[in-house]
């Protein structure tokens, strides 16, 4: 069965059974489970006050062709970090510009929590938290196609504005279906 047919099947079933299912909500048997890949990425040690850039900080290679339906990246910084994260099939960060967007999947930028920045060199400047998620979900029936055997990379660019040296770990969740 083609990928488009698999994606459309629950919607067609819900439409045909709409009179039997309240408000067209599909039953559990009509839903196909999504697959999830978690790409673990890390900068290595990022010293305080430095910018740490790491192309291919993490990667995952699907064994079968896939359609990516959604991506989720948790903003896990509880300290003064500025993070630029990119998920793509391109081997280096910042290659997703202009009209050539092939292989570009997701990009997000975020800064750590609200901090006092008064030039201190010791003590704590922490005054809040910034644990949220950044997500992208494609419309029903659409997905980004990735051929079998093509690596998907997580690239990181981190500015460590905290008062300590850190290793920045960042996970990206890829929600996908396999193509036939």
Distance of CA 138 to CAs 71, 85, 105, 176, Å?
9, 19, 11, 11
Distance CA 70, CA 73 (A): 10
pLDDT tens digits, 134-179: 888 988 889 999 999 999 999 999 888 878 888 888 889 999 999 8
Each domain of the chain, given as residue ranges in start order, spans 1-32, 34-178
Contacts of residue 166, defined as CB under 8 A and 6 or more positions apart, other chains included, come to 45, 46, 48, 79, 81, 160
What pLDDT shows up at residue 120?
A: 54
Is-contact 99 91, C-beta < 8 A? no
* Alpha carbon distances (Å) from 135 to 42, 69, 74, 132: 19, 11, 8, 10
Half-sphere exposure of 95 (CA within 13 A, CB side): 16
pLDDT tens per residue across span 25-64: 667 677 778 899 999 999 989 998 899 999 999 999 999 9
Element spanning 154, H or E: strand 152-160
34-178 to CATH, choices 1.20.58, 2.40.128, 2.60.120, 1.10.3470: 2.60.120
């Amino acid at each position: 069965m083609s990928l488009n047919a698999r994606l459309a099947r629950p919607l067609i079933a819900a439409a045909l059974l709409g009179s039997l299912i309240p408000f067209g909500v599909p039953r559990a048997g009509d839903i196909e489970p999504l697959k999830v890949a978690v790409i673990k990425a890390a900068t290595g040690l990022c010293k305080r006050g430095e910018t740490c850039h790491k192309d291919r900080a993490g990667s995952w290679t699907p064994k079968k062709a896939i359609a990516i339906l959604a991506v989720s990246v948790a903003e896990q910084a509880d300290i003064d970090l500025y993070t630029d994260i990119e998920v793509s099939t391109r081997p280096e960060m910042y290659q997703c510009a202009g009209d050539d967007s092939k292989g570009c999947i997701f990009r997000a930028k975020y800064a750590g929590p609200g901090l006092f920045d008064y030039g201190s060199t010791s003590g704590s400047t922490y005054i809040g938290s910034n644990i949220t998620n950044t997500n992208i979900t494609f419309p029903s029936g659409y997905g980004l196609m990735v051929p079998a055997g093509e690596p998907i990379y997580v690239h990181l660019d981190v500015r460590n504005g905290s008062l300590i040296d850190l290793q920045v770990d960042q996970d990206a969740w890829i929600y996908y279906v396999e193509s036939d």
